[in-house]
């Protein structure tokens, strides 16, 4: 019984090309109590593998979080399977704004301690006691209210290429960093402000809204379905789009264009740019923003040193990597010291002041 992926990304890409079928990229999550995550994980893998589902899914005792790609022809069968699972019946599936048949090239279903790493160790914290979910129309109305504080619950490299107008965009590398920072800076406004949050698809906001209610915030809201669902609703309902730039996504597409605005710059030359890439040097793989001109000049690398290594024969590169892990720069996501136009780390407490202070 096969319970893991056996094909390489290259082999899978060739199969997708040969099949010639359109695929859908979608995501979903659900907080629920799962008694045996490993058994549930194996069940999902066997069923989804048969449906040619690819992507990355995390299963934990607190629920499930999936980002997937599947043949459009298999969508109904996939949805029917989800409906056989009590806590997933009728679940909203966030279908990607922009489709790409190569968005995922492997099926990975992993058991994790949590579906969203939050760094919290609080037994009294109930993740199901969430804030009020609002659709695009109500969200647009709320964020124009002077009593509202709008907070982007994503990381700095995500909000750098796109965010809602007037949103607080914390300069953090991980979700867990933002929770205590936001609570501390907004603690004086737990009762007199609307705390409105958004993220990519809603999963981080769901946990954050419950956390901030737990910490005493009275008026807590989250954008239902995140930026992905917001984009669908504003098109369908012909609403004003208040998101500028691109929505960062965690697959091979890297981002979806929501508006034509380019609000970021190339980390190497400073020209307007909003395309993330990973350094082509296998010993680096730093995530950073690179314009087309720098991509050509630097051979898709983040530095001259990486460019020189990447130009070496493969076996020579492999020899250099022996016994070496990836550079620590890989964790800096666009903030490596050698990038002259990297996003500055601002004083977060200055950037998070409510609108009327």
Positions annotated as catalytic residues are 199
CA distance 234 to 232: 6
CA distance 239 to 241: 6
CA distance 205 to 164: 15
The structure tokens listed for 262 are: 């380019």
Q: Cβ neighbours of residue 230 under 8 Å, at least 6 residues apart?
A: 136, 139, 198, 223, 243
**Element at 277 (helix H, strand E):** strand 276-278
Q: At what angle do helices 75-83 and 37-50 cross, to 10 degrees?
A: 160
CA distance 121 to 142: 32
Q: Beta strand 276-278 with 287-289: parallel, antiparallel or unpaired?
A: antiparallel
Q: At what angle do helices 175-186 and 203-214 cross, to 10 degrees?
A: 40
Q: What stretches of 187-322 show up as alpha helix (H) in DSSP?
A: 203-214, 226-237, 292-297, 304-310, 314-321
Q: Cβ neighbours of residue 48 under 8 Å, at least 6 residues apart?
A: 68, 70, 78, 81, 107, 109
- Give Cα separations from 78 to 51, 85, 86, 91 (angstroms): 7, 12, 15, 12
Bridge partners, 195 (sequence order): 149, 220
Coil, helix or strand for 340?
Answer: coil
With vertex at residue 234, the alpha carbon angle to CA 228 and CA 236, rounded to the nearest 5 degrees, is 100
Coil, helix or strand for 305?
Answer: helix
């Amino acid at each position: 019984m096969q319970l893991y992926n056996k094909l390489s990304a290259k082999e899978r890409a060739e199969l997708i090309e040969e099949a010639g079928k359109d695929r859908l990229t979608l995501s979903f999550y659900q907080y629920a109590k799962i008694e045996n995550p490993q058994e549930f994980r194996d069940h999902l893998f066997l069923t989804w593998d048969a449906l040619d589902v690819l992507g990355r899914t995390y299963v934990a005792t607190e629920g499930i979080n999936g980002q997937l790609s599947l043949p459009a022809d298999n969508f109904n069968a996939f949805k029917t399977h989800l409906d056989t699972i009590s806590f997933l019946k009728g679940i909203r599936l966030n279908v990607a704004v922009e489709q790409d048949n190569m968005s995922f090239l492997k099926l990975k279903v992993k058991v994790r301690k949590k579906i969203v790493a939050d760094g919290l160790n609080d037994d009294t914290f109930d993740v199901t006691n969430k804030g009020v979910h609002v659709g695009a129309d109500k969200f647009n109305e709320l964020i124009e209210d002077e009593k509202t504080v709008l907070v982007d619950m994503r990381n700095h490299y995500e909000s750098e290429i796109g965010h809602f107008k007037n949103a607080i965009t914390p300069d953090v590398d991980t979700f867990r960093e933002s929770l205590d920072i936001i609570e501390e800076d907004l603690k004086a406004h737990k009762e007199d402000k609307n705390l409105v949050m958004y993220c990519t698809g809603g999963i981080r906001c769901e946990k954050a809204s419950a956390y901030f209610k737990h910490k005493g915030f009275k008026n807590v809201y989250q954008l239902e379905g995140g930026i992905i669902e917001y984009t669908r609703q504003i098109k369908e309902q012909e609403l004003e789009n208040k998101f500028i730039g691109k929505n960062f996504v965690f697959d091979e597409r890297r981002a979806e264009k929501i508006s034509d605005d380019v609000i970021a710059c190339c980390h190497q030359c400073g020209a307007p740019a909003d395309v993330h890439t990973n350094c082509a040097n296998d010993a680096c793989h730093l995530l950073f923003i690179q314009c087309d001109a720098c991509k050509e000049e630097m051979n898709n690398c983040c530095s001259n040193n990486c460019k020189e290594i990447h130009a070496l024969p493969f076996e020579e590169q492999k020899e250099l990597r022996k016994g070496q892990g990836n550079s620590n720069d890989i964790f800096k996501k666009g903030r490596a010291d050698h990038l002259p136009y990297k996003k500055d780390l601002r004083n977060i407490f200055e950037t998070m002041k409510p609108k009327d202070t």
